[in-house]
Copies of this chain bind each other. A is one copy, B any other.
């Protein structure tokens, strides 16, 4: 499917030996994504020469598939006329991505060389909030009129469809650009030529607002198996469409961000291998500091019970298993709740249902763990029965408490408009540690009369 290492080597070899004619011949038969990968392997010099060999249409597609750094190299090497050409050929959302990621001086040159309509469109797109439907939509869609016949629609699509993001879903608008209906190319193809578009269009159109969150938009695509979704402004005017290939990227990004947040990191869209050591450290250190400071609370609690473990030192050796078991139990629950809320399956109104579920799961898991652990302790320390009772009871309570807090904390975060992912394992565990140590040593001082 993708390029093998051997094919890649052969192509870079051709570039090094300056056999550009042969190289061009092979590249022209390849997928644009793969060509961009080949260019990334070449030296800047070689990449520029090779890029200029490509036919114009293919070059634009390859350009869209490149990484920002390489796009910048290409742009720097272009004169104003070439730059104008490529900007006008790019889909508007790709042009916007460029403008958002390149340094200011390059952006200035890009905007200067864009046609005034394109410049306006780019500026409009830049105003949509990050991660909104507006920020991921494209303006390249097919718009039909209700009174067109199927034959006229086909004529229009054949004439105007080449540069559109998709021609398979067409949008029917009135003269004020208000969205009136949607018709698929399949519907058009299955209808007689004289049929009017308004008679076959579906006027019950789903749409997103420009300000809708991309995660919600993705949920709609998933639920209804969509290929494209129109985006309208507050006046219901059609301003763009979101296509499924962008949604696939959104889903990927959102899941990756959640993984990062749930492991106590600032989310980053950049790929791991390309992120600098400094940035990686920066994304991690804040949470590490917060959690280090918070976990000193468990330490302070422990120092209150110094007498207890001075007289029964054995108590200390059970600290890790009580803390870990409580923490693991809690993070199982919180992970399911956080993920369920991210996919839209669990809502705030389910809070009671979820707590009641987790209490019961906690009782079952806690009981099994307690029995197994008691057996082990009885076998290893047959003379310390009371200590075993204290350990096992504390663990049982930590497990149930973990399950309950695993539901309450993320849902409370959501209710407070905070990100539920913040309440994943790291923070939850730190909180649970303190609570389980209070339980453990309270029980110990009470039942063992120490401290």
Give the interface of A toward B (CB within 8 A): 1-2, 29-31, 33, 154, 157-158, 161-162, 167-168, 185-186, 189-190, 204, 206-208, 220-227, 244-245, 247-249, 251-252, 255-256, 258-260, 262-265, 271-273, 277-278, 280-281, 284-285, 287-289, 291-293, 295-296, 298-300, 302-303, 306, 309-310, 313-314, 316-321, 323-325, 328-329, 331-332, 334-337, 339-340, 343, 345-346, 350, 353-354, 357, 360-361, 364-365, 368-369, 372-373, 376, 395, 399, 425-426, 429-430, 433, 437
Contacts and interface: CB of A to CB of B under 8 A. Distances in A.
Given A284-B329, A284-B332, A324-B430, 14 more contacts: A2-B223, A30-B204, A167-B189, A168-B186, A244-B244, A252-B343, A264-B331, A273-B346, A288-B329, A288-B369, A291-B324, A291-B328, A295-B324, A316-B319
| 4 interchain residue pairs of minimum CB distance | A263-B335, A298-B320, A225-B245, A303-B317
A291 to B, nearest CB: 5
15 contacts: A31-B206, A158-B190, A161-B190, A259-B339, A264-B331, A265-B335, A273-B345, A273-B346, A277-B364, A280-B361, A284-B361, A287-B328, A289-B372, A300-B317, A320-B323
A321 B292 contact: yes
Contact of A248 (B222, B306, B426, B430): B222
A140 to B, nearest CB: 13
Contact of A265 (B167, B291, B332): B332
Contacts of A189: 154, 157-158, 161, 167, 185
Contacts of A227: 227, 244-245
A286 to B, nearest CB: 10
A350 B190 CA distance: 52
A324 to B, nearest CB: 4
Q: Most B CB atoms within 10 A — which of A31, A190, A317, A323?
A: A317
Contacts of A345: 271-273
A45 B195 CA distance: 40
B335 A288 contact: no
Contact of A221 (B226, B248, B289): B248
A232 to B, nearest CB: 12
Contacts of A287: 328
- Copy tally for this chain in the complex stands at 2
A220 B360 contact: no
A313 B143 CA distance: 76
A280 B359 CA distance: 12
Contacts of A298: 320-321
Nearest to A353: B273
A428 to B, nearest CB: 11
Contact of A291 (B208, B222, B325): B325
A343 B256 contact: yes
B263 A224 contact: no
A391 to B, nearest CB: 10
A79 B88 CA distance: 61
Contact of A302 (B162, B319, B426): B319
B224 A31 contact: yes
Contacts of A244: 227, 244-245, 248
A336 B260 contact: yes
Nearest to A430: B324
A313 B300 CA distance: 12
A186 B167 contact: yes
B223 A361 contact: no
A258 B262 CA distance: 13
B426 A285 contact: no
A450 B289 CA distance: 30
Nearest to A221: B248
A230 to B, nearest CB: 12
